[in-house]
A and B are shown apart, each in its own frame.
Chain A
Amino acid sequence: MYSEKVMDHFSNPRNVGELKDANGIGTVGNATCGDIMKVYLKVENGIIQDVSFKTFGCGAAIATSSMATEMVKGKSLEEALKVSNIAVMEALDGLPPQKVHCSVLAEEAIHAAIEDYRKNQA
């Protein structure tokens, strides 16, 4: 049911864990729906220098977390905010229909982390 890319990012997820010097952290989802994603950002001069995640969720949730963090790494905050769930799904060669919400969650987690960073800076 999953593409090879999804299985690759699920089996060998990139950017897993906490970032000790993160300056933006976003958590989305809840246990009722079965997915919780936490994204850590290290932002310097408006650029995402480093990013990591922790996810409680299914294969698609872990794979989208991995891919989304890969896609925003090294990008400016403005560019990162434009990385849509559709783009994450396309990069994974698609997701089954009932898993599309996982990609939405990944997008939301990135947005929440950027929002947190901006709040911290204000």
Chain B
Amino acid sequence: MNRIYLDNAATTPLSPEVLKAMMPFLMGHYGNASSIHDTGRDARRAIDEARKQVAGFIGAKPNEVYFTSGGTESDNWALKGVAYANRNKGNHIITSAIEHPAVLETAKWLETQGFGVTYLPAGANGILSLEDVEKAITNRTILISIMAANNEIGTLQPVAAIGALARAHKIPFHTDAVQAAGAIRIDVNAWQADLLSLSGHKFHGPKGMGVLYVRSGTRMMPLLHGGAQERNRRAGTENVAGIVGLGQAAQNAGMFIEENAEKITRLRNRLIDGILSTISHVRLNGDRGSRLPNNANLSFRYIEGEALLLHLDLNGIAASSGSACASGSLEPSHVLLSIGLDAEDAHSSLRFTLSEATTEDEINTVLALLPGIVDKLRAMSPLAS
């Protein structure tokens, strides 16, 4: 059975070119980048090169790029690092209700440490309002953290406008760009972001590798204390192979963003339109226009998402769901509930995320299979009649 992978928001396959770049640093070039000798200097040079590649990818200067263990660490560091460095100025943080758990749970923890957090709701279209952000600002606000693109419904947030607003109020602005990376052009200056999180495995890099961009002059505490790595801000012997892989992945991802976006958008629209025209009682979750090119998130009323996922999986198709059962938690997706879906529709959601490798044949296969699966499950649903 040919497997069709439409869960690229969860993770992407490592690119062969990235693996090739990493291999020497897993074998021969084993040096510690902090060592003085030549073996160490090989590692140092490779890290410097990767830092330039990442800087080029997001429009930053190399010395503003910090390597981390992934998106979760980057988000934790951004929130905790800025919060603790600015305690003398205030204790208020603004974020949104639809952030990734890496931001939401960090914010909730900061609340237990004496910080106050405003969680702005998104509109029914999954997009935050700039006015809401502005109204939430107080003279005690020390950080605004709003994601660039939502991981579940793909909606793009007005980060450039929020960045300008934050700058005008002299408040540091962090954006979690984990899902945006590789899909849309990231520019830390156009967005006026002071901090920005990336995760390597979302754009064909290695898992366990991330980046936190920190604009020069941003007040920041370290998250990890220890050695002097990453200019004294992030201790720990560098994962040289991982860093090299992430650098290569960033360089590759940056090259074809617009071209890929056009192709992926076309296939994604074919998928959405095909589903909406052949299956009744389906709703598209999140704004139709302002969303990541690769994201289709739909609720199939009267059916639970995990049951849909299992049937798709039996047919070789990998997707994802916001249902509680699929996520392993007791609650359905906080994002879908936040944009106004009732629990039933939130449990009924299915997320397809395409990549540049997705083909028209694959989309046609999904469109051919899905109506039968939906019919079968609706026939046994006590909610459909």
Contacts and interface: CB of A to CB of B under 8 A. Distances in A.
Interface stretch (A28-36, A73-81, A85-93, A113-121): A28-36
Nearest to B323: A34
Interface in B292-346: 302-307, 310-311, 314, 323-326, 328, 330, 332, 342-344
Interface string B341-365: 0111001000000000000000000
A62 B380 CA distance: 9
A14 to B, nearest CB: 11
A59 B347 contact: no
Interface in A20-71: 27, 31-38, 53-62
B379 interface: yes
Given A34-B323, A34-B332, A34-B343, A54 B307 contact: no
Interface footprint category on B: 20 to 34
B327 to A, nearest CB: 10
- Among A27, A31, A55, the most chain B Cβ lie within 10 Å of the Cβ of A31
Contact of B383 (A56, A58, A62): A56
B189 interface: no
A33 B343 CA distance: 8
B382 A59 contact: no
A97 B107 CA distance: 29
Interface footprint category on A: 20 to 34
A56 B326 contact: no
Interface of A: 2, 7, 10-11, 13, 16-17, 27, 31-38, 53-62, 98-99
Interface of B: 302-307, 310-311, 314, 323-326, 328, 330, 332, 342-344, 347, 379-383
21 contacts: A11-B311, A11-B314, A16-B379, A16-B380, A31-B342, A31-B383, A32-B343, A34-B304, A36-B382, A36-B383, A38-B382, A54-B382, A56-B304, A56-B383, A57-B307, A57-B325, A58-B304, A58-B305, A59-B307, A61-B304, A99-B325
